[in-house]
Structure 1
Amino acid sequence: MGQIFLVRHGQASFGKADYDQLSALGLEQARLLGRWYANTRQRFDKVIHGGMTRHRQTAEACLGELPTALLPDAQWITDDDFAEFDHKEVLLRHCPAFADADAFKAQLANEADPSRALEQLFRAAMQRWMDGGDYTESWPAFRGRCVRALARLDAGGGKRTTIVFTSGGVIAALMQHLLGLQDTQTTALNWSLANCGVTRLLHRPGQFTLNCLNNYAHLEWLGQPGAVTYR
């Protein structure tokens, strides 16, 4: 039986001009995951990351902590189908004020509970996208490419262990596919996925089985306050 580890990227630069860069904490989260794998002697045969900078940075920081014995001739592959959806477009179509990042942050800061207000905005924007409309990439198209990316991991079969560095939306879409979740459940799951959280699938030819979802014990391991983040 093979294994597939789906890793959400470390904390990115939310609210910055370039979101697609890991923050200092995001890099440390990736290193903590790598140390966890080194400590547990977890071996990987194949490494895949989405085409985004934060995916590659997470992969490099994480696997840089592993001894070479745990990565024997591992293939490194970039697969753009494991890239995240365009969250900026999804938010902008629902809330045009998001175009001005500073004004948007100021608007959230005036809310009694900014974190809750952002969550409600995200859920509403996701629902609008899922309901259809004029988007560069529709929700069905996004789900379809995520499922195709997972299906490609079925090729070759065997007992290979693969690690995939991707994003929360991709993982949530794959869980919807595997578990038959409703759209609202998928949105809620997406919001709850931790940065550098790990979802593990067991794999037989033609079959993927969920083994664990959103594990972030490696971030709690050293007892560092603030190590677990979601945005």
Structure 2
Amino acid sequence: MAELLVIRHAQASFGADDYDKLSELGHRQSELVGQALRDAGWVPDRLVTGTLKRQQETLSSMGFAGRPDTHPGLNEYDFHDLLNVRFAGKVPDPVRSDRKTHFRTLRETILDWQAGGLEGARESWRMFVDRVDAARRYATKTDARRVLVISSGGPIGQLVAFSMGAPASQMIALNLQVKNTSLTRFFFSSSSFFLHEFNTTPHFATQERAQLLTYS
């Protein structure tokens, strides 16, 4: 069977005016995961990313040659839009600046979204699910045997939940666990798609590198 290796983008610029770019640490994380794959003899024969800058910069810093295909279904859901709908355009400052508050609010907001709330959001939960599945089918409709995908926490959580037949509520539980540059591996064929490993970070396994692990 063929492999689909999905990597979450490296650390973005949390709290900055432009979140959608890698931090200096994010570039270092990307270099390390790319080198770890090459050291293991795992070199992709197809590259796919979403259209977000942080995803494309992650792939670039990983150092693999070749022009990637892109699919917007691999992009993160628009949490800023969901927050604006939830709070009627007046998002509390701690939600934007405090990590603990941010992630607690993220969980609450996504569960509401999944349950059919947040009417007026640019993207419904059903639209998100459908585009992630379209991206999965796009990435796996190939003769390639090793497909490398750079995506984000939400789509990765959804892909894992889909592969396990888990309820929608499990997507956000999985989403919140996904580490920057972690590896989530699936095996696939024309008739099957199943999870092999989730959220691993062998490139941060040493005590020295453990301090480089991040979640945002």
TM-score by length of 1: 0.85
Give the whole-Å Cα distance in 2 for the aligned partners of 1:196 and 1:36: 11
**What 5-or-longer segments of structure 2 have no aligned partner?**
none
Q: 1:24 to 1:226 in 2, by over 3 A?
A: same
Aligned residues: 213
Pick from 140, 157, 176 the counterpart of residue 161 of structure 2.
Answer: 176
- SS of residue paired to 2:185: strand
Q: Aligned pair in 2 of structure 1 residues 55, 159: CA closer, same or farther (>3 Å)?
A: closer
Q: 2:113 aligns with which of 129, 146, 149?
A: 129
Contact 1:3 1:161 (8 Å CA) reproduced: yes
Q: How far is 1:11 from its partner?
A: 0.6
Provide the residue aligned with 1:142 in structure 2: 128
Verify the 8 A CA contact 1:30 1:58 in the aligned structure 2.
yes
1:86 aligns with 2:78: yes
Deviations 1:29-79 (A, max 9, x none): 1111011012112121000010000010000101x1x5xxxx6xx552111
**Percent of aligned positions with the same letter in both sequences?**
27
Partner AA of 1:165 in structure 2? I
The residue correspondences of 1:56-71 to structure 2 (distance < 5 A) are: 56-62=56-62, 64=63
RMSD: 2.0
1:141: how far off? 0.5
Aligned mates of 1:154, 1:130 — CA distance in 2: 26
State the alpha-carbon separation in 2 of the partners of residues 108 and 58 from structure 1. 24
CA contact (8 A) 2:12 2:21 kept: yes
CA distance in 2, matches of 1:51, 1:159: 21
1:197-216 pair list within 5 angstroms: 197-216=182-201
Task: Report the TM-score, using the length of structure 2 for normalisation.
Answer: 0.90
Equivalent position amino acid for 1:135 in 2: A
Local SS of the residue matching 1:25: helix
Aligned equivalent of 1:76, options 68, 73, 93: 68
* Letter in structure 1 aligned against 2:161: Q
Structure 1 gaps of 5+ residues are none
**Residue 137 of structure 2 corresponds to which residue in structure 1?**
151
Give the superposition deviation at 1:189. Answer: 1.0
Local SS of the residue matching 2:68: strand
Does the 8 A contact of 2:204 with 2:210 survive in 1?
no
Opposite residue 152 of structure 1, the aligned amino acid is: Y
The answer to whether the 8 A contact 2:55-2:150 is kept is yes
Residue 93 of structure 1: how far off its partner (Å): 2.2
Q: 2:13 is paired with a residue of what secondary structure?
A: coil
Deviation, structure 1 residue 97? 3.9
What CA distance in whole angstroms lies between the structure 1 residues aligned with 2:90 and 2:13?
A: 19
Q: Bigger shift: 116-125 or 5-14?
A: 116-125
Distance in 2 (CA, whole Å) between partners of 1:189 and 1:10 is 17
- How big is each residue's C-alpha offset from its partner over 1:112-160, in whole Å with a ceiling of 9 and x where there is no partner? xx5443332111111221122221011110110101111123323x561
3-state SS of 2:214 partner: coil
Q: Supply the AA of the counterpart residue of 2:166.
A: L
Instruction: Tell me, in whole angstroms, the C-alpha distance in 2 between the residues paired with 1:122 and 1:192.
Output: 13
Larger radius of gyration: 1
TM-aligned CA deviation for residue 220 of structure 1: 2.7
